[in-house]
């Protein structure tokens, strides 16, 4: 591997602020957890239910962001700055519409959603209250998703990071004031989040208005283009979430120790995924702009470099995990049986990291290239193979090791399919139109 590349500076310029933004997004829930956790067990359990629902919503609808980045990047790279600005305006309208629709649905179905998540009694009451209040901030939160997609497409990742940091800072102040100062309890936590998201949404609206230069009217053709690109990413994300949901559902059938071990390792897996996904976001931007400009070789060479950097980052993560295998799990639990189950899957967890690096980088590259149909069907195929292994593990009583082996299969199949696509170069389609 070359120690340095002509693309390294540009990759880091995009990946570092992307990492900051990725880390800032889940901090809303972390702050809520830290504050609500001192109110009592029912409130904390209620927040856990609400956090699961909201996280799923944002994950499923992340196609609004990724699809916007890919299309704006192509337009910007092709020198079609007006088209790029108009796409940003359409992303705002589209995200606002989705956010408003989800607000109505979530408010109406909150009791049923909480019940489906297993909420009962006082915990369910708190969860319904929290979900209904926080849903009022969904239109602003979705505007932020679309605006970030646009700004990433024009290679501006610093501005979204600053807005997110300011929003998180406001969230901390408001929640402490409402929960402890005014004594509003879990409702205060929810209102603090809503107001912080509203401020963040308004800031992004102002940024998009400035960029659009007054050209904000809805354009159905461009909106349909974003939806067309995004629907494939939606399928890809839904299949990925289905794999993780199936794994979690099967692990719960192997006992409390396995559930706890899965929670510990999976949360660490998600944390490391955030770091590796920063390179994937750089891939979305660089590839989209290069192909828009008609620069096939630049797109391919920069992509190859990103894959190498992501794989070597994964190797580093894996080596560190193996080195701290006897130390790190103790930070999460002191239960001997849980620690034994964690140890049983730790090697698989560590060995997945280089594979994750390659998969996440390839994912970002193909999203940036607008290769949505291939991403969708390859993810569905990967889920199907993984699901067969996971169900087999359950039937044959292979325990948590069998379920995590199914997750490894998921990553391996994705890697094989996406690498074949990358090597074929069929994704190197240039131009804007």
The model's pLDDT over 158-167, given as tens digits with 9 standing for 90+, comes to 899 899 999 9
Cβ–Cβ under 8 Å, residues 29 and 270: no
What is the per-residue pLDDT for 135? 93
Q: How many CA atoms lie within 13 A of 52 on its CB side?
A: 17
Q: If you average pLDDT over residues 193-217, what whole number do you get?
A: 89
Q: What is the 3-state secondary structure (H, E, C) of 256-276?
A: HHHHHHHHHHHHHHHHHHHHH
In the chain, where are the structural domains located?
12-218, 249-424
Residue 394 pLDDT more than 80? yes
SS3 430: coil
Hey, what are 12's tokens?
């880091």
What is the per-residue pLDDT for 3? 59
Q: If you average pLDDT over residues 298-325, what whole number do you get?
A: 93
The CA distance from 48 to 127, in Å, is: 8
How far the first Cα of the chain sits from its last, in Å, is: 36
Confidence of residue 303 (pLDDT cuts 50, 70, 90): very high
Q: If you average pLDDT over residues 81-110, what whole number do you get?
A: 92
Residue 14 pLDDT more than 70? yes
Residue 343 pLDDT more than 90? yes
Of 279, 105, 107, which is closest to residue 190 (Cα–Cα)?
A: 107
182 secondary structure, DSSP code: S
Hey, what are 39's tokens?
């109110």
The CA distance from 433 to 424, in Å, is: 22
Cβ–Cβ under 8 Å, residues 290 and 302: yes
Residue 315's contacts (CB-CB under 8 Å, 6 or more residues apart) are: 353, 354, 357
CA gyration radius, the chain: 22
Work out the mean pLDDT of the chain and round it to a whole number: 88
Residue 71 pLDDT more than 70? yes
What is the per-residue pLDDT for 300? 94
Residue 267 CA: distances (Å) to CA of 30, 273, 350: 13, 10, 13
Length of the chain: 433
């Amino acid at each position: 591997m070359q120690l340095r590349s002509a693309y390294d500076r540009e990759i880091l310029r995009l990946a570092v602020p992307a990492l900051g933004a990725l880390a800032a997004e889940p901090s809303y829930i972390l702050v809520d957890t830290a504050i609500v956790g001192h109110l009592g067990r029912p409130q904390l359990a209620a927040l856990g239910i609400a956090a699961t629902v909201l996280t799923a919503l944002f994950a499923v609808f992340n196609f609004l962001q990724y699809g916007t980045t890919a299309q704006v990047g192509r337009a910007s790279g092709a020198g079609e700055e007006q088209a790029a600005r108009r796409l940003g305006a359409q992303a705002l309208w589209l995200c606002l519409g989705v956010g408003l629709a989800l607000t109505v649905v979530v408010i109406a179905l909150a009791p049923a959603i909480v019940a489906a998540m297993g909420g009962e009694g006082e915990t369910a009451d708190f969860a319904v209250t929290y979900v209904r209040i926080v849903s009022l901030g969904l239109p602003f939160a979705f505007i932020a998703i679309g605006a970030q997609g646009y700004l990433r497409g024009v290679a501006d990742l610093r501005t979204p990071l600053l807005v997110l940091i300011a929003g998180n800072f406001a969230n901390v102040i408001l929640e402490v004031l409402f929960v402890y100062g005014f004594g509003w309890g879990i409702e205060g936590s929810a209102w603090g989040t809503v107001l912080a998201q509203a401020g963040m949404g308004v800031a992004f609206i102002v940024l998009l208005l400035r960029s659009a230069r007054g050209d904000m009217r809805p354009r159905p053709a461009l909106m349909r283009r974003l939806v067309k690109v995004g629907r494939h990413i939606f399928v890809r994300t839904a299949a990925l979430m289905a794999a993780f949901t199936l794994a979690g559902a099967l692990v719960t059938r192997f006992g409390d120790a396995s559930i706890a071990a899965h929670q510990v390792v999976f949360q660490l897996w998600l944390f490391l995924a955030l770091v590796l996904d920063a390179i994937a976001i750089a891939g979305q931007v660089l590839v989209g702009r290069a192909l828009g400009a008609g620069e096939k070789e630049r797109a391919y060479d920069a992509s190859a470099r990103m894959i190498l950097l992501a794989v070597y980052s994964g190797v580093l993560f894996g080596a560190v995990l193996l080195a701290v295998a006897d130390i790190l799990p103790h930070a999460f639990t002191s239960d001997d049986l849980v620690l034994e189950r964690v140890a049983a899957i730790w090697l698989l967890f560590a060995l997945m990291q280089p594979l994750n690096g390659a998969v996440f980088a390839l994912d970002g590259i193909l999203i940036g290239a607008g290769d949505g149909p291939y991403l969708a069907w390859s993810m569905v195929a990967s889920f199907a193979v993984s699901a067969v292994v996971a169900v087999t593990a359950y039937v044959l009583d292979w325990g948590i090791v069998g379920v995590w082996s199914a997750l490894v299969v998921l990553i391996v199949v994705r890697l094989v399919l996406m690498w074949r696509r990358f090597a074929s170069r069929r994704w190197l389609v240039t131009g804007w139109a």
